[in-house]
Amino acid sequence: MLRVIFKNLWNRRSRYAWLFMELVLVTVIAWQLIDRSVVLMYDRSLPMGYDIDRLVKIDVSTLPEKNADFKPEYDTEEGRINSIHAFLGKVRAFDGVEAAMASGAYAYMGSPQLNTYYTYDGSTDTVMVSGQFFWTGTDFFRTIGLEPADGTPAEVFDNVAPGEVILTETLARQFSPDGGVPTAKLFNPNTGEGVRAVGVVKDVRRSPLRRSYSLAFVALAPVPYDNFACTARLKDGVDMKTFIDEFRSRASRELTAGNYAVKAVTPYTELFAGMAREGGITNSYRRGMALTVFFMLNLLLGVVGSFYLQTRRRTGEIGVHRAFGATRGKIRTILLGESFVLMTVAFIVGIFLYLQYGLAAGLDFGYEEPGDTTVADTWVSSFGIHFAAISAIVYVVMLVCVAVGTYFPAREASRVNPIDALRNE
Amino acid sequence: MRIWQTIRHNKLFAAIYIFGTALALASTTVAVVVLNSMIAPVYPEYDRLSSAFIQRLSMELPEGGNMGYSMSYDLVRDHMYTLRNARKVSAYMEPWESAYASRSDGGLDFPVKIKYTDPAFFDVYSFRFLAGKRYSDAEFESGMPVAVVGEKTAREAFGAGDAEQYIGKDIRVNFTDYRVVGVVKESTPAQTDSYAGVYVPYTSKQDYDQAVNGIPWIGQLKLVTVTDSLDALQAEIAELEARFNASHEGYQVHFFGQPVSHAVKTFRPGIQDTEFRLSGVFLVFALVIMALLIIPSLNLSGIISGHMESRMAEMGLRKSFGATRVRLLREVLRENLWLTFLGGIVGYFFAYMMLKAGVADLFMSYGVATDFTNEMIFSPVVFLSVFLICAVLNTLSGLLPVYRSLGRPVVESLNEK
């Protein structure tokens, strides 16, 4: 049967030329679009290492001096620090809250952060570290839900002091291969400042937008900013929407401390969705999917159109096949085979072309950033596996498209009555 | 008409042709509408083609390093408000952190975009006032806490009602009360230059006249102007830049070629990218349109090619009775052109639905929710572009397969019968 298929294709090569060119181009374009979407999907599917579903961010701001409720006696450094702790106390006492911590307004867990270089001990090798700053004495680790790695006692979290860091397991391995707490100090080669690692936590990702598990939690003393962010963890079983509604209705009356008042409350899931949207990541993903659907629809139309018009003209030939004993199934198989072979050859040409581009420009590695030092461990960064995996996905998507596009014309063609067909000849 | 006969006799061919064209046209129309809404005059930015902007400057400091920020009040007051080559000048501030407005029903604040402006902002941008008016010069000079609000924001803050009802009420933004003096038809967040939910005088801001870190000319104000001669305005600013640098030892101010036009400001990746050329952006856009058209064109070429084969006998007969190849080519292309236009109309309808459903937001880098108005969708530029795209698509897809089919010898064509 393969010989018949190849013969048919060769004899109709000029008729199939347009469809062939379209298949080659769709392969190249679909590769680019599907690559981006699959890498983004993969990044989103990686475990976070902590449960963001129960976290809410509360934006807190200082009242302006003109406001009637402004109290000048609290507007000192000490007054503000005391107000931050008083505010946290009120949030912890709020119905449904399990734990709460405070951070700079733009230093909440998952916010874009500064990256710094560290060297280990006397080594000249630098490791770029993605830093997540936190305020000491505000219950950061319990609120976020970070777990100590083996060998790190939980008390470390309560006693960590400014100038100390806690590393994720992945980052700790960069400095000490056994994954334990690095014993020597880490130095920032630019400023000469040293920080001491005092513990290791199980791997977490900073946000769903980042692939890396390499993260350093850098301890800072609380700072009396005008604005700060409070993160609260809800108790297990508390419904997020009910909590937010309740919080919103009571916050302005109950949750003020000194001159601090609540501006907004946002679930972390919404926060990260917003970051993905504003960073263009959500759009990039949706755009890729929309354009893939667009090109596949075009391909489907092209295949349906070509095969319907062809099968109408091939009634006589199909009649001969049927007269010589070919079953309807065989006719369908021949026509489907023609489209599969045509698509496969076009696909091979297409991925060969894309490979040239991929070798020169690289494949899509998602949104890795400096400091994302573990990216190399995933399939995304391995050119061979990455190329093979995406090629396979593109092939399957196109195969489904071509199969759907060919099946109905093939079914109609196979229903031809051999007597009618031969009489027309 | 012949076109209806063609459709009646070749329903499948016509359906695939029209639907395929509609798909291509819908996607390219969306792209054209998005580009058009980014650079063409739309509410309330009707002066876009003669607008010029200074958003950010950089100051080299005597102690080393530099400071990149916007302009100080001193610079704006002493030099910018008196620019000779600008017809209109307005200065404004846009805080980068979120602002929150209170609801009158006591619910927690909602995020709102706030712009701190001068009264001239409402001369540069042609807002439609649904009630009240802009804040007066006197209110601006005295730093009164007054506000012009967008109708959607007003509705969210005070509840549904007539625009007149909102006048005189206080809207609380970041714990400060502003008296509403005007309600405007709200534009969309995609109009980043003009869009805000709340506009207040920048003089009502506590530190509006403070230079950042005491550095001369560095502050928080941005500038939008309307000018008849961008070149002259740029030369005037360059002269100002040179005068400052000559008279302030140790300091060097850089305007990076600003003021720049609206289009340059929209597409230039960074303020310091002075080599940026708009032609590069339009080239990329043309390539995107080509990519969106090339697949459907190949598609149609394949279908036309198949359809022409089934018409070989008819073509052979016509030729044997003296019809020339050019004449037949013209006829077939005209038939296809009608089908393309039918597809174009369906495609325009698809595009309208897609734009209203928010599909165009996918083309915006930051995913802002854009309310595409009928003014943006049915602009003459878009109509003309779609017409041209139809013509290009028709020629691209039809010419070669039809020409090749008609080149076959008459005997061979008649043999098809």
pLDDT, one tens digit per residue, over B240-260 is 999 999 998 889 999 999 999
Do residues A358 and A257 share a domain? no
Tokens of B57: 């400057």
- Nearest-CA distance B255 → chain A (Å): 28
Do residues A40 and A92 share a domain? no
Do residues A81 and A226 share a domain? yes
Asked whether the beta carbons of A237 and B84 are under 8 A apart, the reply is: no
Q: Which DSSP state fits A379?
A: G
Q: Is A19 on the interface with B (CB under 8 A)?
A: yes
Query: Which residues touch A290 (CB under 8 Å, ≥6 apart)?
Result: B359, B362
Quick one: angle between helices B2-9 and B325-356, nearest 10? 80
Residue of A63, A248, A301 with shortest CB distance to B108: A248
Residues of B in contact with A263 (CB under 8 A): 98, 100, 109, 174
Whole-angstrom distance, CA of residue A324 vs CA of residue A340: 24
Q: Which DSSP state fits A63?
A: P
Average pLDDT, chain B: 85
pLDDT (average), residues A256-268: 89
| Residue B276 CA: distances (Å) to CA of A195, B120, B262, B266, B281 | 43, 30, 14, 12, 9
**From A115-124, A258-267, B403-412, the region with the lowest mean pLDDT:** A115-124
DSSP for A240-264 reads HHHHHHHHHHHHHHH-EETTEEEEE
pLDDT (average), residues B72-91: 95
Backbone angles phi, psi at B38, to 5 degrees: -80, -30
Asked if B175's CB is within 8 angstroms of A280's CB, the reply is no
A163: left (phi over 0), alpha (psi -120 to 50) or beta: left
| Residue type for position A198 | V
- Give the nearest chain B residue to A308 (CA atoms): B12
Asked if A302's CB is within 8 angstroms of B303's CB, the reply is yes
Does residue B79 carry a pLDDT above 80?
yes
Asked if B302's CB is within 8 angstroms of A19's CB, the reply is yes
Q: Is A277 on the interface with B (CB under 8 A)?
A: yes
pLDDT at residue number A42:
86
pLDDT at residue number B416:
54
Do residues A303 and A245 share a domain? no
Asked if B107's CB is within 8 angstroms of A282's CB, the reply is no
**From A150-164, B66-80, B375-389, the region with the lowest mean pLDDT:** B375-389
Q: How many CB atoms lie within 10 A of CB A265?
A: 21
Does residue B417 carry a pLDDT above 80?
no
Q: Which of residues 149-178 of B touch A (CB under 8 A)?
A: 174-176
Asked whether the beta carbons of A240 and A53 are under 8 A apart, the reply is: yes
Whole-angstrom distance, CA of residue A367 vs CA of residue A1: 48
pLDDT at residue number B411:
67
Whole-angstrom distance, CA of residue B329 vs CA of residue B317: 15
Do residues A245 and A184 share a domain? yes
Q: Where are the domains of chain B?
A: 2-42+278-415, 71-227
Q: How many helices (H) and strands (E) does chain A have?
A: 13, 11
Residue of A22, A248, A312 with shortest CB distance to B299: A22
pLDDT band at B367 (very low <50, low <70, confident <90, very high): very low
Asked if A309's CB is within 8 angstroms of B13's CB, the reply is yes
Do residues A242 and A381 share a domain? no
Residues of A in contact with B107 (CB under 8 A): 248-249
Asked whether the beta carbons of B329 and B402 are under 8 A apart, the reply is: yes
Tokens of B302: 């394949």
pLDDT (average), residues B392-415: 73
* Residue of B103, B300, B305, B416 to mutate, interface with A, max A Cβ within 10 Å: B305
Q: Is A229 on the interface with B (CB under 8 A)?
A: no
Q: What is the pLDDT of residues B129-144, one digit of tens each?
A: 999 999 999 999 999 9
N-to-C CA span, chain B: 26
**From A144-148, B321-325, B370-374, the region with the lowest mean pLDDT:** B370-374
Q: Is A204 on the interface with B (CB under 8 A)?
A: no
Do residues A131 and A165 share a domain? yes
Asked whether the beta carbons of B174 and B99 are under 8 A apart, the reply is: yes
Q: Considering only CA atoms, which of B300, B304, B328 is closest in space to residue B314? A: B328
pLDDT at residue number B374:
73
Do residues A369 and A260 share a domain? no
Q: How many CB atoms lie within 10 A of CB A79?
A: 16
Whole-angstrom distance, CA of residue B128 vs CA of residue B133: 10
Q: Which DSSP state fits A148?
A: B
- Give the nearest chain B residue to A313 (CA atoms): B310
Do residues A120 and A215 share a domain? yes
pLDDT at residue number A117:
63
Do residues A312 and A248 share a domain? no
Residues of A in contact with B23 (CB under 8 A): 294, 297-298, 301
Asked if A306's CB is within 8 angstroms of B302's CB, the reply is yes
Does residue A384 carry a pLDDT above 60?
yes
Do residues A14 and A117 share a domain? no
Question: What percent of chain A is modeled with pLDDT above 70?
Answer: 91
Do residues A330 and A353 share a domain? yes
Does residue B289 carry a pLDDT above 90?
no
- Can you tell me whether residue A128 is helix, strand or coil? strand
Q: How many CB atoms lie within 10 A of CB A233?
A: 24
| Residue type for position A180 | G
Domain that holds residue A20: 2-46+280-424
pLDDT at residue number B370:
63
| Residue B124 CA: distances (Å) to CA of A107, A162, A322, B91, B254 | 38, 51, 77, 10, 25
Residue of B24, B100, B294 with shortest CB distance to A25: B294
The residue with greater pLDDT, B300 or A423, is B300
Q: Is A356 on the interface with B (CB under 8 A)?
A: no
Residue of B13, B100, B310 with shortest CB distance to A313: B310
Q: Considering only CA atoms, which of B183, B207, B213, B223 is closest in space to residue B70? A: B223
- Give the nearest chain A residue to B22 (CA atoms): A298
Does residue B410 carry a pLDDT above 70?
no
**From A23-27, A45-49, A309-313, B197-201, the region with the lowest mean pLDDT:** A309-313
Which of A244, A278, A312 is the C-terminal boundary of a domain?
A278
Whole-angstrom distance, CA of residue B335 vs CA of residue B325: 15
Q: Considering only CA atoms, which of B334, B335, B298, B328 is closest in space to residue B408? A: B328
Residues of A in contact with B310 (CB under 8 A): 309, 312-313
- The structural domain count of chain A equals 2
Q: Please, what's the b/e burial string for B183-207 (b: 16 or more CB within 10 A of its CB; e: otherwise)? A: bbebbbbbbbbbbbbbbbbbbbbee
Q: What is the pLDDT of residues B22-38, one digit of tens each?
A: 888 888 888 888 888 78
- Nearest-CA distance B33 → chain A (Å): 16
Asked if B106's CB is within 8 angstroms of A249's CB, the reply is yes
pLDDT band at A425 (very low <50, low <70, confident <90, very high): low
Q: Please, what's the b/e burial string for B162-177 (b: 16 or more CB within 10 A of its CB; e: otherwise)? A: ebeebbebbbbbbbbe
Q: What is the pLDDT of residues B27-78, one digit of tens each?
A: 888 888 888 878 888 889 999 999 999 999 999 988 877 888 899 999 999 9
